[in-house]
């Protein structure tokens, strides 16, 4: 039970921080691509297409295994392979296209709106227009995506840890606990079933919460679905 609690703390930590990292990177790339268009949009879209072309699990295993073996060096900073930062970095990067594309599409529509044209006519620079006129209108999209990204990040972390490419022992997580208990599933099924149930309950709760946030921020969407 103690290991289940510590594993849940690590799984939630990785899910939340990775989702915030995805939002930061996806928001930056989406704003740049949608507002500047041209070669900036082409380069970012090409990079997103390349990343999106690979299945999530496969690219996660490849990056997670490579970084777990050799660690990660960012200038003077070196991150060891068994650090929780490795799965956080891998998951945050993998899910960037899933957020950057919707943000880009929304920015492309917003940059042609009247209030942006008015701000441009008043002599506002590009950076000021993006942060004061466009970004506030994208916040609701980020609020809807955040719980769903956390749920997907927790699921991906569990899958990568189960396959040995996520959280590295002796650090616990629900994925590593399921992997460790899989070999004893006939003699001690609770070692796999209990963390699995916690994983399902957490992801289901986050998805229901995300649906509630979407309905609260965009009540017209529910009406469109009902009609």
CA angle centred on 209, ends 103 and 149, rounded to 5°: 40
As averages over each run of 10 residues, the pLDDT of the chain (227 residues) reads 91 95 94 87 90 88 83 76 87 92 89 84 84 86 89 93 86 90 87 92 91 73 41
Q: Could you count the other beta carbons within 10 Å of the beta carbon of residue 178?
A: 23
CA–CA dist 77, 99 (Å, integer): 28
Residues of the domain holding 29: 2-226
Residue 37 gets the label, from left (phi > 0), alpha (psi -120 to 50) or beta, of: left
Q: What is the pTM for the complete model shown?
A: 0.88
Query: Is 130 in contact with 200 (CB distance < 8 Å)?
Result: no
* Helical residues (DSSP H) of 72-169, grouped into ranges: 85-94, 96-110, 114-121, 126-129, 135-162
Query: Is 35 in contact with 111 (CB distance < 8 Å)?
Result: yes
Give the model confidence (pLDDT) of 177-212 as tens digits.
Answer: 999 888 888 888 888 999 999 999 999 999 888 888
CA–CA dist 200, 5 (Å, integer): 15
Q: How many domains does the chain have?
A: 1
The confidence score (pLDDT) of residue 224 equals: 40
CATH of the domain at 90: 1.10.3720.10
CA–CA dist 1, 59 (Å, integer): 32
């Amino acid at each position: 039970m103690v290991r289940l609690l510590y594993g849940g703390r690590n799984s939630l930590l990785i899910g939340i921080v990775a989702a915030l990292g995805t939002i930061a990177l996806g928001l930056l790339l989406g704003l740049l691509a949608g507002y500047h268009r041209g070669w900036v949009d082409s380069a970012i879209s090409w990079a997103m297409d390349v990343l999106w072309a690979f299945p999530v699990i496969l690219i996660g295993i490849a990056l997670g295994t490579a970084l777990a073996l050799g660690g990660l060096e960012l200038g003077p900073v070196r991150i060891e392979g068994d650090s929780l930062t490795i799965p956080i970095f891998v998951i945050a990067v993998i899910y960037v296209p899933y957020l950057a594309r919707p943000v880009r599409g929304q920015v492309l529509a917003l940059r042609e709106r009247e209030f942006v044209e008015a701000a441009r006519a008043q002599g506002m620079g590009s950076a000021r227009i993006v942060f004061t006129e466009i970004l506030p209108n994208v916040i609701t999209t980020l609020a809807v995506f955040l719980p769903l990204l956390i749920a997907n990040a927790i699921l991906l972390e569990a899958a990568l840890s189960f396959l040995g490419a996520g959280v590295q022992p002796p650090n616990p997580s629900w994925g590593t606990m399921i992997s460790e208990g899989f070999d004893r599933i006939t003699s001690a099924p609770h070692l796999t079933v209990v963390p699995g149930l916690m994983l399902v309950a957490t992801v289901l709760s986050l998805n229901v919460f995300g649906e509630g946030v979407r309905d609260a921020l965009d009540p017209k969407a529910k009406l469109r679905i009902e009609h």
